[in-house]
Structure 1
Amino acid sequence: MDLLTANDRPGEYPGSYHASIARQLPPFPKAEGTMRADVCIIGAGYTGLSAALHLRQRGYDVVVLEAQRVGFGASGRNGGHVTAGQRIEQDDLEAMMGKETAHKLWDIGNQAVDLVRTLSRDPAVETDFHDGIIHADHRARHVAHGHAYARKLQEEYGYDLIRPLDRDEMRHMVGSPAYHGGTLDMGSGHIDPLQFALGLARMAVSAGARIFEASKVTHIEEGEPARVRTESAEVTADHVILGCNGYLGGLNAHVAARVMPINNFVATTEPMSPEEQESLIRDNHAVSDSKFVVNYFRFSDDHRLIFGGGESYGYRFPSDIRAKVMKPMLEIYPQLKGAKLSHAWGGTLAITMNRMPHFARLAGNILSFSGYSGHGLALGTLAGQIAAETVAGQAERFDVMASVPTPRFPGGATLRSPLLVLAMLWYSMRDKL
């Protein structure tokens, strides 16, 4: 199944709230004929666009090949959360990698948030960065661990931007009976995801990057230089960067065996009053909860609740996405019964077995960055910067990220789909217990 077209029309953004308000870019041309570049980037999401921008700032000639539209995939459809650190907790990273590397990974995760915050200040990015993510525990037994973890970050990592929330303060901050406590992380935040992606594209083009849309890559021929082919073009390049994430398809078997696409779903309400917004989430923070099939939500700048949730048991989007998102939304906010949803859409992200990103050198001059497991807004953007410095011969951060092992999924790419069904059924049941 080609996930580029399985649920979407070629050359069109989904019917998302983000797409409805964005100042979209005119279509870029389709790649035709033969081209030469220092670097060919495959995918115009956060990773590809950030790589293009940072490579151009270093003086490299860059071609970006996008199968659909700029920001078409998860980069333009996600919930907009920009989260500090890595996808898994530092305790687990210390056990996996040792304390020294775990500290480096923590620093890299925070550099990712800093980069998004810095880039968002450019006039080309027509949206604001808002500080604060509340991590909400849906089980009372999770609260002690969350508070201890906040203390660990404060004491061992010098991170003083996080603090615990008890049950009463959580109820004050999030107007829901579903949560028993949690933490508030002011080093994290949220932003309009598509506006941010389009801003990166504007910055990259202004810096001199050449972007082509409707240009699906069909083959990469390894070599020095490498050759990247689409249906109608061939790009010869000294370096190749893969930034495909959930839309890689069969382009590289090594990555496909370790990075699995999954779908997630998001909906928005009609605009609320500022008072209604404050009754649901105080101080314009974002919220994500402790479920494995996570619920994540925040408000838009025009006071719409943007709610993501609902597990997926296959790669086709459900016929009624509104109903799929409304179910978990009403579990969190029963007071919204009867509320109308103005937009609902699905998207494809990518996960790894251990939920850590997969950074890989597939050949001496071919790099791949994917598997962000829900942290792609921050880590995907930073991956582009890391890609640029790696091409330039400064691979320290790349080597730290690439040192994290990425296990193959059982059965590799062949069994990912049935494995996805079983896994999501299991974790959905676990969340309900």
Structure 2
Amino acid sequence: MSATSKRSASATEHAGSWYAASANPSPERPALAGEVSCDVCVVGAGFTGISSALHLAEKGLKVVVLEAARVGYGASGRNGGQIVNSYSRDMDVIEDKYGAETARALGDMAFEGNRIIRERIATYDIQCDLREKNLFAACNARQLNGLKEHKALWERYGNDQLELLEGEAYKREVGSDRYTGVLVDHSGGHIHPLNLVLGQAAALESLGGVIYEQSPVTSLEHGQPVTLRTQGGLVKAERVVLAGNAYMSGVMPELEGKSMPCGTQIITTEPLEEELAKALLPNNIAVEDCNYLLDYYRLTRDNRLIYGGGVNYGGEDPADIEAVIRPKMLKTFPQLSNVKVDYAWSGTFLMTLNRLPQFGVINDNVYYAQGYSGHGVTCTHLAGRLISEVMTGRDERFDAFAGLPHLPFPGGRMLRVPLSAMGAWYYETRDKLGI
């Protein structure tokens, strides 16, 4: 592991990632001191929180954001940067479990988060390295058949920008011998996620929104108004948005049994020669494979390969991230055996039992959105729009998510990690055997 990959962040500073090292300039916001009041207080300055706050500020509401660390500190500033459509559970599962009406309501929104991201980038001139297209790669014949079904399903819900490449044709996009075919989504893409959330935070402030960093919420008192306390002050808000996702421990104890923090790890290579980078990903597309514990990767603007994969249930970090992820990268691209890794980091996302996000409201004025189960880049941006809609009189789209049943993990908080790991082992074994 190289020297730069060993850097670690404090509990309130950005992770030692390539994203943090290449982030656009952003001010350090002060911690909350004293008492403030607002129409809406948002807890958490990641994609969900900043997206919600920006939508609300655009509607003329006075918004205050409380962030325990820095803007984009959590998964929003650490993820793979892939603009992947839909949800972690796809529409056929939603149809089977929750019926045609719910599936149609969610299906009508399945590709909207993608469009919101592009609208934000264009409207506020956010410099976040937007690149077009992503693809799903099949590692065996069973997965390739699954991609064919996936294509038909998404086309039924309105995505007409899909292209299936079978056999050697997929090497137009990926220079690896690992796959049997790929499904290209021409409406997808990839971005520098930390710069995307920083750009939206600046847009919020340009509209009068206020962000306090290093201001973890120590208590929330329900009422009218709601009172939120930090170590240095308090906020009185007519309404609240809880948007801390995997970092909201203790604020909503009634939901904690129905979700589980999970860790994923990413490495980033040294800059690659142009010829090598083109050989890996000729058209600079973002890739994720179809395994249950999937790998995902893409190129950065300076031709580094970002490669991530695996899940640690419970969110614990491995002792040596590079030792975990580098073998995965070399299985896909053995030609990188002599390439150095410059950055290695982990991030925590929140998983639900049904793999669908949890939206809801407590006591009529405390709203929450969380649990994107690894598909948060697009769905968080949709969540922000839906929260702004439900607060300003349009509730049917928010309610389509809020009406989804969410059960606790089997075994409770003590056994959810080992039981989930056992289930993952089963599906991982199936992937390896191609069955």
Note whether the superposition's TM-score is higher than 0.5.
Answer: yes
Per the alignment, residue 27 of structure 1 pairs with 28
Structure-2 change in CA distance of 1:158 and 1:69 (3 Å): closer
Q: State the one-letter code of the partner of 1:390.
A: V
Structure 1 position 180 matched with structure 2 position 180: yes
Give the match for residue 198 of structure 1. Answer: 198
**More deviation, 200-209/252-261:** 252-261
Partner of 1:214: 214
RMSD over aligned Cα atoms? 1.8
Matched-pair contact (CA < 8 Å) for 1:86–1:105: no
Greater shift, 125-134 or 347-356, is seen at 125-134
Quick one: which amino acid aligns to residue 85 of structure 1?
S
Residues of 1 paired with 2:149 and 2:431: CA distance?
A: 22
Shift of 1:380: 0.7
Task: Give the match for residue 399 of structure 1.
Answer: 399
Q: Which residue of 2 aligns with 1:337?
A: 337
Contact 1:124 1:200 in 2 (8 A): no
Gaps of 5+ in 2: 1-7
The CA deviation at 1:8 is: 4.6
Amino acid at match of 1:32: A
Q: Tell me if the contact between 2:124 and 2:203 (Cα under 8 Å) persists in the aligned partners.
A: no
Aligned residue runs from structure 1 range 32-431, under 5 A? 32-154=33-155, 156-312=156-312, 314-431=314-431
Q: Is the 8 A contact 2:292 2:424 kept in 1?
A: no
Query: 1:3 aligns to what?
Result: none
Q: Once the 2 structures are TM-superposed, how far is the Cα of residue 337 of structure 1 from its aligned partner? A: 1.2
Identity in percent: 38
CA offset digits 1:343-399 (Å, max 9, x no partner): 111011111111111111122101110001111111112211211121112112101
Q: Kindly tell me: are residues 206 and 355 of structure 1, through their superposed partners in 2, closer, same or farther at Cα, counting changes over 3 Å?
A: same
Aligned to 1:4: none
Q: Given the two structures, how large is their TM-score scaled by the length of structure 2?
A: 0.93
Q: Distance in 1 between matches of 2:322 and 2:393?
A: 47
**Aligned-partner Cα distance in 2 for 1:404–1:212:** 33
Question: What letter corresponds to residue 94 of structure 2 in structure 1?
Answer: L
Change (3 A) 1:229 1:424: farther
Distance in 1 (CA, whole Å) between partners of 2:238 and 2:153 is 44
Question: 1:257: how far off?
Answer: 1.6
CA shift for structure 1 position 424: 4.3
Contact conserved, 2:260 with 2:314, CA < 8 A, in 1? no
Contact 2:37 2:236 in 1 (8 A): yes
Distance in 2 between the 1:131 and 1:98 partners?
Answer: 33
**Alignment partners' CA distance in 2, 1:269 and 1:381:** 29
SS of 2:30's equivalent in the other structure is: coil
Measured after TM superposition, the shift of residue 302 of structure 1 is: 1.2
**Contact 1:295 1:308 (8 Å CA) reproduced:** yes
1:420 deviation in Å? Answer: 4.6
Aligned to 1:13: 14
Shift of 1:118: 1.2
SS in 1 for 2:385: helix
Query: Relative to 1, partners in 2 of residues 1:324 and 1:277: Cα closer, same or farther, differing over 3 Å?
Result: same
CA positional deviation for 1:24:
3.6
* CA distances 1:189-221 after superposition (whole Å, capped 9, x unpaired): 111100101001101111111111111112211
1:259 touches 1:370 (CA, 8 Å); kept in 2?
no
2:283 aligns to what SS in structure 1? helix
CA distance in 2, matches of 1:395, 1:141: 40
Deviation at 1:303, TM superposition (A): 1.1
Pick which of 210-219 and 398-407 moved more: 398-407
| Counterparts of 1:300 and 1:259, CA distance in 2 | 32
Once the two structures are superposed, what CA deviation does each residue of 1:240-262 show, in whole Å capped at 9, x if it has no partner? 10101111112112221212110
Q: Is the 8 A contact 2:261 2:314 kept in 1?
A: no
Length-normalised TM-score, structure 1: 0.94
Instruction: From the superposition, tell whether residues 203 and 277 of structure 1 become closer, same or farther in structure 2 (CA, over 3 Å).
Output: same
Give 1:423 deviation, angstroms: 4.2
| 8 Å CA contact 2:226, 2:240 repeated in 1 | yes
Query: Secondary structure in 1 aligned to 2:235?
Result: strand
Query: Tell me, which stretches of 5 or more residues in structure 1 are unaligned?
Result: 1-6
Structure 1 residue matching 2:311: 3-state secondary structure: coil
Contact 2:75 2:347 in 1 (8 A): yes
Partner SS for 1:145: helix
